[in-house]
Each structure stands twice: as structure tokens, then as C-alpha cells.
Amino acid sequence: MAVDNGDFVRVNFTGKIKDTDDVFDTTYEEVAQEVGIFEENKTYKPIPIVVGGNHLLPAIEEAIIGLEEGDKKVIEVDAENGFGQRDSSLIQLVPMKEFKKQGMTPYPGMKIQSEGATGKILTVNGGRVKVDFNHELAGRDLVYDVEVTEIIEDETEKIKSMIELHYSNPNVDIDKTEIDIEDGVANIKLDDMSKFDQQSYMDITFARFRIAKDIWDNIDEINKVNFVDSFEKNEDSDDEEEAEE
């Protein structure tokens, strides 16, 4: 069976800058180690996506249509279809005193955060600091080596894959998720450990909304997703108490 639009699949990939061959992202641990971008807290394994779901660059999701499970493909993505062209208006001169106010000493190459955007300092000249707020990959043509490791067919597994994608919690065992689908409703009961997440309830709601949307947009017979937290009276311990009496 070949990959089609709307399919739930798992893919491995390595993204490189075309000109330099520099790897900027990968799902392979050995590649990350080799090129020196390995991160301790990241899990290296195929990531689940919906084809056409905007989980990866649209150009990549289109390019894997027609591949079979196990197929690999080299996908060239030009800057336009990657992270956009460079925009010179995003290079700004910032007075040095703005940095001093915050106790910062700017130097070329330093990364800074400003109103949610990441900037990279290009030059420091007396009272003026030149900061580039373009995406680091803007203007770059890219090459992705992509491998389709799995086409997910089972609906329960499709749902689990979206939980994996949108709600990552190292304490939660995805295999302990209980899912039942009935009359257009998917009822999801996560591993009990998820109840003790220290994130805000609102942040978890946003993750749940993304999970639910990917499910109802891509699984025809589901139009409602319930997340259920169960609290059950422990009859066993009552029995034990009685037995001890």
C-alpha cells in the first residue's frame, strides 16, 4: 500500500543545508551523535505525522505520497518551500543601551530573544548592534533524506500516534492508553501518570485540542474526542480491612 494524503505514517529524516551539507535536524540518534547535534533530552525515533497535516514542511509531506513502507527518498526543498527567503527588513540596528539595560554584553554570534522571535547578533559597532531576526534556515535550499518506517492502519494506533506527537511526557507510557471508539466518539483514557502532570491544565487542553483536531480531520467516522480521567473506589482495600477484622 502506498502513502496517500491523510494517511498516518511514521518517518525518519535527516535535514541538511544543500550548499554546505550541514545537518540541522535528524531523528536518527547515530547521525545526531556523528555531527555533534545530539541532545540528551530528545528522543530519537521515527516521528508520527499525518500526511498533509502540516506536521512537517508541506513540501516533504507531498513528496512522500506514493512511497511504500520502508521506502527512502531524497527530497530537495528550495528556500521558498522551506523556511522562506531572507527578509532584509528583519535585520535591525538596536542601540547598545537596550542591551545594557538588561545587563547583557552583546557579541557577534550571540542569540537573543525579543518578543517571541529569536535573533542572532551579526556585528557590534560602538553604540549600535546589528541583529538578524530571520529564521536561521531562511534563504537556504534544503535536502531531506526521508524514510517511511510505517503506514499506520489501525484506528486505535492512529489515535495513539497523535497523542505521541502532541503530548510528550516522559512519565507517561503510551501503551497504557485505553481507547474505545463508538458511535463517532473516541474515548481516550491516558496512563494514570498523566494525572500528575505539573503543566497547567490550560496547556494540556491546547495539546488535547491539537490531538482531537488531527483525529476528526483525518479519521472519517470520528467527530468527537473525549479525554476521560477515572477515579475508582478501591473495593480491594475495603475487603482487606474487613478480612483483618
Residues 146 and 203: their CA atoms lie apart, in Å, by 31
197 contributes a contact to a copy of itself by CB under 8 A:
yes
CB of 224 to a copy of itself, least distance (A): 5
CB of 211 to a copy of itself, least distance (A): 8
Phi and psi of 61, rounded to 5°?
-60, -40
> Following DSSP, what letter does each residue of 18-79 receive, concatenated?
TTT--EEEES-HHHHHHHT---TT---SPEEEETTTTSS-HHHHHHTTTPBTT-EEEEEE-G
Residue closer to a copy of itself by CB (options 77, 163) is: 163
Which range, of 13-21, 51-59, 116-124, 203-211, touches a copy of itself by CB under 8 A? 203-211
Side chain identity at residue 87, one-letter code? D
Residues 50 and 158: their CA atoms lie apart, in Å, by 9
208 contributes a contact to a copy of itself by CB under 8 A:
yes
44 contributes a contact to a copy of itself by CB under 8 A:
no
242 contributes a contact to a copy of itself by CB under 8 A:
no
Measuring CA to CA, how many Å separate 118 from each of 47, 136, 210, 229? 25, 9, 25, 38
Residue closer to a copy of itself by CB (options 77, 212) is: 212
225 contributes a contact to a copy of itself by CB under 8 A:
yes
Four-residue CA torsion sign, 197, 115, 119, 139: positive
Which range, of 11-19, 113-121, 127-135, 231-239, touches a copy of itself by CB under 8 A? 231-239
72 contributes a contact to a copy of itself by CB under 8 A:
no
CB of 203 to a copy of itself, least distance (A): 8
Side chain identity at residue 210, one-letter code? R
Q: Which residues bind a copy of itself (CB under 8 A)?
A: 194-202, 204-205, 208-209, 212-213, 216, 223-233, 235
